[in-house]
Amino acid sequence: MNAPLNISRRQFIKATAFIAGGLVIAFTIPHAKRFLLPGKEEAVAGAAKLPEPNAFLRIGTDNSITVLLAHSEMGQSIWTTLPMLIAEELDADWDSIKVEHAPAAPAYIHTAYGLQITGGSSTTWSEFDRYRQAGALTRALLLSAAAEKLGVPVAALFTDNGAVVHGDQRIPYGELAEAASQLATPTAVTLKDPKDWKIIGKATKRLDGPEKINGTAKFGMDVQFEGLMTAMVARSPVFGGQVKSYDDSAVLKVKGVHKVVQVPTGVAVIADHYWAAKQGREALKVEWDLGPAVSMDSKTLFDEYRALAAKEGLTAAQAGDNAAAFAAGGKLIEAEYQLPFLAHSPMEPLNCAIHIKDDSCEVWTGTQMPGNDQAAVAKVTGLKAEQITIHTPFLGGGFGRRANPAADFVTEAAHVAKAAGMPVKTVWSREDDVKGGFYRPMYLHKARIALGADGMPAAWEHRCVGQSIMKGTPFEAFMIKNGVDATSVEGIADSAYLKNVPNHKVELHTTESVVRVLWWRSVGHSHTAFVMESLIDEAAHASGKDALEYRRSLLKGHPRHLAALNLAAEKAGWGSTLPAGRFRGIAVHESFGSYVAQVAEISIEEGAVKVHRVVCAIDCGLVVNPDSLVAQMESSIAFGLGAALQSEISFKAGEVEQSNFHNYQVLRMSAMPVVEVHIVPSTDKMGGAGEPGVPPIAPAVTNAIFAATGKRIRSLPIGNQLAEA
């Protein structure tokens, strides 16, 4: 595993801080300018770039090892997983590991996506090499420093638990850090053979656990400093609306309110604290020009989508001759599915604190895209990106909402701070968050399936209607081809099932709206898996075959789907007798490079579904931290189940009908099933963990509902559809 290195310049050292009584030698980022924004890179010799180890870790003379995360911790446990990669190759003492979010800087650009982002369930696989290499490079430097110090060849030394060892002598890394940082980085590095791993693959406790248990963990909402004001913004109740006029006379009488300023998104009340800002905003009178969206209505919108679905759309995937295959006859399934807009609703409402100074600016916000936010603040303030420091505290959930190419909440906060002329933390109320847009888009699917004599699909026509997430973002260039946003049809156009359906056509109608949309945990798969797995169940039922056997037949040649499917079915006891009143449903779906199957066990109680148990199997390739993978499956099931059962953002007379958790309902403890997670042993290509557990849960549950009641749920949320039956 020798990899070429292209680092020729000497590393620099910088004594930056005293921590715990010891001088910390911080490896700096000497080559930061080598990585500029896309299209502006200086030529870098060689295709394989090894990381600058100093950008990813610091070794203190107190022996502490601080790992800098190029990605944001929002629950998915990368605060632990990425340090595991470095610690493995560095032979670090795990107890000496500290973790920080990296600043917004070119060194931290995503190895696959080309900008600094946490998303796409990509952190672990995309950093698997870079973080291990950073650990290995640093270890090599420490060995060289020790060899020089002792006057022995490197071959006479080895590393163990945070020290270089020579015979009976142990030199802690902290004693070698300064010398090591002055050495030229080696030109090749050897990574450990997986059989020698001591940390990778071992269930490891979260490093952020203690501070999140004792209340000391700092989130964006917790940023406080002398002079920092709190702002709340009154925004148009209808998307696209503008301020016509406002009256702040009553606002300024509220104790604690300092200012009222107009910003592009509305009117901001600046106050000493949240309570004053909230009372001030309630006293504010704004006259809005609501604009054309004032008549927007979800029911009408679905009718418009339905009308579009009757027409041919842009082709996203095609094989064989659908027309001839449908003409050949056979049992026909025709179905329409619909899914609502969804809000992400992370527990921490959106917030962003900004302190604009003459020639610099500091920003504190829980973000999944610090570089993008830096650019957004630069645009508003007129400062250069490098004058803007982005501090990323912990994210109180993200689910995609805090990775917004439009940088909506950061841009707005920058306008507020600029107009106020003082440091301001703009805070969204829960209502602002629920009503604030950037939703998972609503979708309507229309499918027609002709079954062959063997009961298997012989022809499949599938039309999707909904908004594009990628349009207008930096991802548009490579995610939208021939007018088709790949995320609108992912999970269908590339479905493993359809590869075994000789005649098929997947079409897309992309709609436009003032409602801005965004990726929501599992992106397009959040609607496509529900539709595909329901349709497969419909086909299995129509052909009189077992839902599991039918899937097995149609997934021939897809071993990873089958491995997950078979493991989940086996562990769930598929086919075995259930207690009276219990029913099972199954679903399997690939997303983000991982394969997840789930079996849901339900009953119907008083006209509502109760999910008792979910057995989940995942193949995501090599697993770095098995316990955090299990946690992500539990998490995904809770997230997806809550949405399937109850969540919906709907519009009436242009306004969002929901406002807070009483009517935008998410999963609570009482509805949480027992979850059993089984990991498919795999050395296959690594996939993601944060999202792939979400897509299968809705169809697993609705397929179980069909088994229980004969009622096919074709619209989410399930809501009270069973009571109506």
Partner 1 sequence: MTTLNINGVDQELDISDDMPILWAIRDIAQLTGTKFGCGMAQCGACTVHLDGMAIRSCITPASVAVGKKITTIEHISQDKVGQAVQAAWSEIDVVQCGYCQSGQIMSATALLASNPKPSDADIDAAMSGNICRCGTYPRIRAAIHQAASKLA
598 binds partner 1 (CB under 8 A): no
Integer-rounded Cα radius of gyration of the chain: 27
Per CB under 8 A, the list member of 168, 669, 681, 724 interacting with partner 1 is 669
Phi, psi of 223 (to 5 degrees): -70, 125
Helices and strands counted in the chain (H then E): 20, 32
656 binds partner 1 (CB under 8 A): no
Residue 409-438 contact track with partner 1, rule CB under 8 A, x = bound: --------------------xxx-------
Q: How far apart are CA 60 and CA 50, in angstroms?
A: 23
DSSP structure string for 632-691: HHHHHHHHHHHHHHT--B-EETTEES--STTTS----GGGPPEEEEEEPP--S----SSS
Judged by beta carbon, residue 424 or residue 667, the one nearer partner 1 is 667
255 binds partner 1 (CB under 8 A): yes
Distances (CA, A) of 622 to 107, 383, 628: 26, 44, 13
Distances (CA, A) of 48 to 11, 138, 386: 19, 18, 26
635 binds partner 1 (CB under 8 A): yes
Yes or no: say if 329 and 75 are a contact pair by the CB < 8 Å rule.
no
Yes or no: say if 5 and 11 are a contact pair by the CB < 8 Å rule.
no
Show the tokens assigned to 290: 């609501």
Per CB under 8 A, the list member of 167, 215, 579, 681 interacting with partner 1 is 215
Taking contact as CB under 8 A, which single stretch among the options 119-127, 258-266, 477-485, 636-644 is the one that binds partner 1?
Answer: 636-644
399 binds partner 1 (CB under 8 A): yes
Judged by beta carbon, residue 123 or residue 138, the one nearer partner 1 is 123
In which residue are the tokens 């089984």 written?
Answer: 678
Q: How far apart are CA 704 and CA 700, in angstroms?
A: 6
Judged by beta carbon, residue 402 or residue 714, the one nearer partner 1 is 402
Judged by beta carbon, residue 129 or residue 208, the one nearer partner 1 is 208
Per CB under 8 A, the list member of 12, 158, 275, 478 interacting with partner 1 is 275
Taking contact as CB under 8 A, which single stretch among the options 215-223, 292-300, 446-454, 558-566 is the one that binds partner 1?
Answer: 215-223
Q: Which of residues 65-104 bind partner 1 (CB under 8 A)?
A: 73-77
Q: Which of residues 599-628 bind partner 1 (CB under 8 A)?
A: 627
Per CB under 8 A, the list member of 38, 209, 581, 607 interacting with partner 1 is 209
Instruction: Report in angstroms how near the CB of residue 255 gets to partner 1 at its nearest.
Output: 7
226 binds partner 1 (CB under 8 A): no
219 binds partner 1 (CB under 8 A): yes
Judged by beta carbon, residue 131 or residue 639, the one nearer partner 1 is 639
Show the tokens assigned to 562: 């089958």
Per CB under 8 A, the list member of 192, 202, 218, 545 interacting with partner 1 is 218
**Burial class for 711, CB neighbours closer than 10 Å (0-12, 13-18, 19+):** middle
Show the tokens assigned to 508: 């897309």
Per CB under 8 A, the list member of 93, 222, 476, 657 interacting with partner 1 is 222
158 binds partner 1 (CB under 8 A): no
Show the tokens assigned to 696: 């299968």
Q: How far apart are CA 467 and CA 342, in angstroms?
A: 13
Show the tokens assigned to 517: 């949309």
Per CB under 8 A, the list member of 206, 462, 541, 589 interacting with partner 1 is 206
Of the candidates 652, 664, 665, the residue with the CA atom closest to the CA atom of residue 302: 652
Judged by beta carbon, residue 217 or residue 514, the one nearer partner 1 is 217
Q: How far apart are CA 43 and CA 11, in angstroms?
A: 20
350 binds partner 1 (CB under 8 A): no
Q: At what angle do helices 525-542 and 697-709 cross, to 10 degrees?
A: 30
Q: Which of residues 359-398 bind partner 1 (CB under 8 A)?
A: 394-398
Instruction: Report in angstroms how near the CB of residue 525 gets to partner 1 at its nearest.
Output: 17
Taking contact as CB under 8 A, which single stretch among the options 217-225, 505-513, 525-533, 709-717 is the one that binds partner 1?
Answer: 217-225
80 SS3 class: helix
57-60, strands of its sheet edge to edge: 13-19, 22-27, 57-60, 65-69, 97-101
Judged by beta carbon, residue 27 or residue 592, the one nearer partner 1 is 592
Instruction: Report in angstroms how near the CB of residue 507 gets to partner 1 at its nearest.
Output: 34
Binding footprint of partner 1 on the chain (CB under 8 A): 73-77, 205-206, 208-219, 221-222, 224, 230, 255, 272-275, 278, 345-349, 394-399, 429-431, 627, 631, 634-639, 642, 660-662, 666-670, 672, 674-675
